[in-house]
Amino acid sequence: MMYYFIGVDVGTASVRAALVSQHGDVVSTATKEITIWNPQPNFYQQSSDEIWAAVVETIKHVCSTGKIEVTAVKGIGFDATCSLVVLDGDSQPLSVSPDEFATPVLEPFEPCI
């Protein structure tokens, strides 16, 4: 039986996945863009739910287009730019992208930085 490995990379603008055989051959790849909201200058947000959905979609895609059974997958490597999802008191994800919400709080410390 042939074994496979999946590599997943979550970047700033997209999720990419690759299905690789035990011999190192790339069998299938998939990319899914991630929405970046920029409603005002220096304010960026992304949806943790959308990122997770993109991870699931790309993994399913490489398995289906690679025509393999998921039981043949022996390992998954995962790399992420936004690898931490912080939850609030209601278990809802907080912003996963840089913003400048804290700028006014930090302004008094500007001379020290």
Q: Where are the domains of the chain?
A: 4-112
Report residue 72 as tokens: 């043949």
CATH 3.30.420.40 corresponds to the domain 4-112: yes
Residue 108: Cβ-neighbour burial (10 angstroms; 0-12, 13-18, 19+): exposed
Asked whether residue 32 carries a pLDDT value surpassing 70, the answer given is yes
pTM: 0.76
Mean pLDDT over residues 21-43, rounded?
A: 92
User: Is the model more confident about 77 or about 102?
Assistant: 77
Asked whether residue 16 carries a pLDDT value surpassing 70, the answer given is yes
The pLDDT > 90 percentage for the chain reads 51
CB-CB contact of 28 with 13 (8 Å): no
User: Is the model more confident about 56 or about 89?
Assistant: 56
Provide the pLDDT confidence category of residue 80 given band limits of 50, 70 and 90.
confident
